[in-house]
Structure 1
Amino acid sequence: MLLWLAITELLQKFKMKSWPSSTNNSVRCSFQGLLQRAAMDTILAVTFGSDLNTLGAAGEDEGSRFAAAVDDASEFTLLCYVNPFWKAMRLLNVGPEAALRERVKVIDEFVYRRIRARSEELKAAAQPEGLVARKDMLSRFMEAASTTDGGPAGTAAAVDYKYLRDIVLSVVIAGKDTSVEALAWFFYMACKHPRVQERVYREVGEATRAGDDASVDEFARSLTDEALGKMHYLHAALTETLRLYPALPLNNKECFSDDVLPDGFSVGKGDVVFYVPYAMGRMEYLWGTDAEVFRPERWLDDDGEFQQESPFKFTAFQAGPRICLGKEFAYRQMKVLAAVLLRFFVFSQRNEEANVNYRATVTLLIEHGLHLKATPR
């Protein structure tokens, strides 16, 4: 599971008390940064077969530079939508466009170096007594391309390196950001509303039937699909978080043909239509007068069971033919991680009066990170 490394590393660090400071048996952590690095380690292992350990590094390693370049490139790309002079800036290589070019260079060097190295490994594996072929995503794509095109494994003739770069970057960006950011916002809201933490704690205990003295491994084994399915309040709290803080705050679709929208507005073939899940989640027209209030109970019926809204109203996962294929997987990841952490720790902000803001990127990052204290239960 993509974020399981985040759980084990976080609990390991708490157990070893290896964070910079600890007072009153609580541990301070940069929560969003921890999740991002753990997710990056895991997704790079899945896509490239690389063990970079950015989680244990000081931030100046190759993996951390790559992750920072991806975040910055996302922000600079978004600026193209609001900066009418971006094409001129790109031509003159100044401002955000110059910075974007530098970040893309870092990303390309990182990715192409691994593609070339994997190509050499695949060539060696094809020889008698060669290397054992890897089973990461990049290797599988390269092997499939070689088989399809009939060329020697890993050769330039058989594999389009730019195509491979685009594929693996899509996987890295999707796996690195969306669930991590949703969880970061969830824990921020849980800190602002301590009752949510306590209710999740009670629900998780009832659903898993794990005793108070259960170890982390024992508790993890109790998180079956059946147990996760009983966690209606946790599911509601995560969904309420995504309503207010969707991972993709702005999205767009291109029209394949001329059409008329439900409100009578005409669109033509090739037109790009934007919709804004961040704004839709806060509209009183859709959610009532308390639209801006964090209230997980709005998703529960009288029996306390989760009730889904129309995906055309709750658009965090899109809707229709383009609905997110990873929706259920994302919920499962988030529920497992939230259940484990809230089962063993109580979280609070380092500065309980502080309000966080978002960073304007393609995805909804918390600006300057999320700084929490975790106290063992």
Structure 2
Amino acid sequence: MGILLAIAGFTFGGILVTAVWFVYLLVKSYAGKSVNSPEYAPVKGTVFQQMLYFNRLYDHHTQLARSHRTFRLVGPSCSHLYTTEPRNVEHVLKTNFHSYSKGRYNQEIITDVFGHGIFAVDGDKWKQQRKLASFEFSTRVLRDFSCSVFRKNAEKLVAVVGDAAGRAFDVQDVLMRCTLDSIFEVGFGVELRCLEGSSKEGGEFMKAFDDASALTYWRYADPFWRLKRRFNLGAEASLRSNIRTIDDFVSHVIATKRRTTAKVRVLYIYIWVRLAYVRRILYVRYY
């Protein structure tokens, strides 16, 4: 009986602490956010509401945007601003891009998946990586190669969609497979064959990357994600497993590419030496 009472006490205490914590987060979310001020975008809820609509999150955001093209979801530390207004999008992504950094809040959330790449950094690091990427993609050889890859995979995509005529299929999944095939072939010279479904490793990588992206976005709605990451629980445990799968696959691809490049380099050196040797023999015989 004492054990049951202890279990019940711990359970009730946990529920009570969780409820109090959520109330505190809600109060903190709305406090000082100028909820009714016409100078700010209207508030359509809190970031925690996204947990209720997570499986249809894009539809939920679209529904909210139909009533207000720009709106806010408030949170304890900051508000999340959403906009479908073309002028706002142009202002953020083009005319005043330098004023909108990712910031430490976003970087803390996405760094586990994207590391310190161009998608997760700001300032000089971003400029350096963008300059490097722009230089690489501005070369004619890469442009021609990437165009041929995109055309080839576009033809495969048309074939896959054609085969699925008359039945339901996941468009996002098909487009994801096509995109990954194109990016990896252009970036690493490796054909994943995700669109064809013939590569087991490529399929596992694609699923891990897709799940990791969704779980990373889940952090924006989950106030306990840091605690879960600390103790490797729930969604954070799944995210860590997916990141491990991604890292292992990419490391394998890079190592394979390096070995292939090294073999090609050795072959070039061998051919060059042989040609030099032949030229020397011909030179000696001629003179």
- Is this a same-fold pair by TM over 0.5? no
Higher relative CO (CA 8 A, sep ≥ 6), structure 1 or 2? 1
Compute the TM-score of the two structures, normalised by the length of structure 2. 0.38
* More helix per residue: 2
- The structure in which a higher percent of residues are strand is 1
Tell me which structure has the larger Cα radius of gyration.
2
